[in-house]
């Protein structure tokens, strides 16, 4: 058995956050441990057990949470209860299965200042819905499982299972549109709102307003439309990244008895969100016109293996005319509407380096869209550098009229504060293209995307 060597298995598993989270947990606990990723197709799982038995332990994700069970030497009480395993401990060659999903859910709620003591309405009756509903019932609260029409049979069975397995449990089910009464906790266990369908919410706003607290198991994006709707209405909200990190922390407790402070886990949740955006989302470059976003973006794309998109060129290709032509023929308001549409479209893609137009982030809607699936980097060039770079450039619509110098100064002053407020990172952009691109790569620590 490899000493202190762990892994996660699943299929497909290219977008897992497990290595980042678990390596940080090892560091927090002062434990030296390696953590890998094993993509194992369902039909190959039995044949890989010899390899898995060489590990100190491993985590399991879709689609192996049930199929691993007959291949193990034993289960703890809770994993047997749920008939699901997401963590395995190797004790002198004996593999025992555990489930930490429910623990992660409960710890996330505790960290968020709420509990399962009242009425919980669980949205969805799938695997995640089963965990959330059972935990609520086991905590002594009442449970309502709300589903779409095609999920009624599953919801009915889930409620029957809860009543059979949890003595005295109160569980009922209904259609999503029939949710009524007081809701202490509204818990989403469906994929609705998950990237890239980030504009969807599992229930209408009026249902959210009835809740004292909202939990969303979706963690990408970290702030789903459901979470945003709750916060807008003054409802306490807990996101899915907290559950993901806490269930990982519970695995470390199983493996070697680790304990973690709530503050450390909260900090790790924030870091995990940032890492997720960098690894699977977009790198968005902002800055004043002439700050070098296009040249630097192209270079950054080449050295990181990502795809470069210039928002202005993106709009020009769609409209069949230049930005200057759009300004002169349709006006600035029409261009800004196109810019909002482009920001929304590009935010639904991943693995991009995006160069925004100089005025794009003056619109909070654009900032929110691009920040939702990416990190924003300010190319902070001085006004003197901007002046030199734009000397003789007559292609900038906002600088084409009289008083060019005064306009340049005014826009630079107005926009710089907005850029700084929007940016996650800022780099000095007065240097050459290669120097600035390398600064960004080092500052943001952009993960490389291998070329196919």
Pick from 179, 105, 118, 177: nearest CA to 148: 177
65 included as an active-site residue? yes
Q: What is the dihedral of CA 258, 264, 269, 270, to 10 degrees?
A: -160
| Contacting residues for 248 by C-beta, under 8 A, at least 6 apart | 18, 21, 22, 25, 59, 100, 104
CB environment 225-240: b (16+ within 10 A), e (fewer):
bbbbbbeeeebebbbb
| Candidate list 31, 65, 318, 445, residue with the active-site label | 65
How far is C-alpha 169 from the chain's CA centre? 34
Cα-based angle 94, 95, 97 (whole degrees, multiple of 5): 145
Q: Is residue 256 within 8 Å of 31, Cβ to Cβ?
A: yes
How far is CA 333 from each of CA 49, 288, 343, 370, 430, rounded to the nearest angstrom?
A: 61, 19, 15, 20, 31
Q: Is residue 355 within 8 Å of 285, Cβ to Cβ?
A: yes
Site of tokens 């002169």: 328
For CA atoms 224, 231, 100, 156, the dihedral sign is negative
Q: Which residues are catalytic?
A: 65
């Amino acid at each position: 058995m490899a000493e202190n060597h762990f892994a996660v298995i699943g299929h497909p598993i290219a977008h897992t956050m497990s290595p980042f989270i678990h390596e940080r947990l090892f560091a927090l606990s002062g434990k030296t441990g390696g953590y890998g990723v094993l993509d194992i197709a369902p039909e190959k799982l039995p044949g890989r057990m010899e390899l898995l038995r060489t590990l100190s332990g491993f985590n399991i994700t879709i689609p192996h949470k049930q199929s691993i069970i007959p291949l193990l030497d034993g289960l703890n009480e809770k994993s047997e209860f749920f008939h699901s395993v997401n963590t395995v401990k190797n004790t002198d060659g004996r593999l025992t299965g555990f489930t930490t999903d429910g623990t992660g859910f409960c710890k996330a709620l505790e960290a968020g200042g709420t509990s399962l003591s009242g009425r919980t309405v669980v949205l969805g009756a799938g695997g995640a819905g089963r965990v959330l509903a059972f935990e609520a019932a086991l905590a002594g609260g009442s449970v309502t499982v709300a589903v779409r029409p095609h999920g009624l049979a599953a919801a009915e069975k889930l409620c029957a299972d809860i009543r059979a397995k949890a003595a005295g449990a109160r569980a009922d089910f209904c259609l999503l549109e029939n949710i009524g009464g007081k809701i202490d906790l509204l818990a989403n266990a469906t994929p609705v709102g998950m990237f890239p369908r980030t504009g969807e919410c599992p229930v209408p706003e009026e249902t959210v307003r009835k809740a004292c607290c909202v939990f969303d198991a979706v963690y990408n994006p970290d702030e789903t439309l459901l979470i945003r709707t709750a916060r807008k209405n003054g409802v306490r909200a807990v996101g899915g990244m907290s559950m993901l990190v806490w269930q990982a922390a519970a695995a470390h407790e199983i493996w070697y008895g680790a304990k973690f402070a709530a503050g450390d886990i909260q900090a790790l949740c924030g870091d995990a969100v940032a890492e997720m955006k960098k690894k699977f989302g977009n790198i968005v470059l902002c800055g004043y016109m002439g700050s070098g976003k296009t040249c630097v973006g192209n270079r950054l794309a080449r050295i990181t293996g990502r795809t470069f998109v210039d928002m202005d060129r993106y709009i020009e290709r769609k409209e069949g005319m230049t930005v200057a032509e759009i300004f002169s023929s349709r006006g600035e308001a029409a261009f800004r509407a196109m810019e909002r549409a482009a920001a929304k479209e590009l935010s639904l893609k991943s693995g991009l380096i995006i160069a925004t137009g100089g005025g794009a982030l003056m619109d909070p809607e654009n900032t929110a869209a691009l920040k939702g699936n990416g990190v924003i980097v300010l190319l902070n060039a001085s006004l003197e550098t901007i002046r030199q770079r734009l000397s003789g450039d007559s292609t900038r619509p906002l600088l084409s009229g009289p008083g060019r110098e005064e306009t340049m100064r005014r826009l630079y002053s107005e926009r710089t504060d907005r850029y700084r407020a929007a940016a996650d990172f800022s780099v000095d952009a007065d240097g050459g293209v290669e120097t600035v691109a390398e600064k960004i790569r080092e500052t943001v620590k952009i993960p490389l995307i291998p070329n196919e």
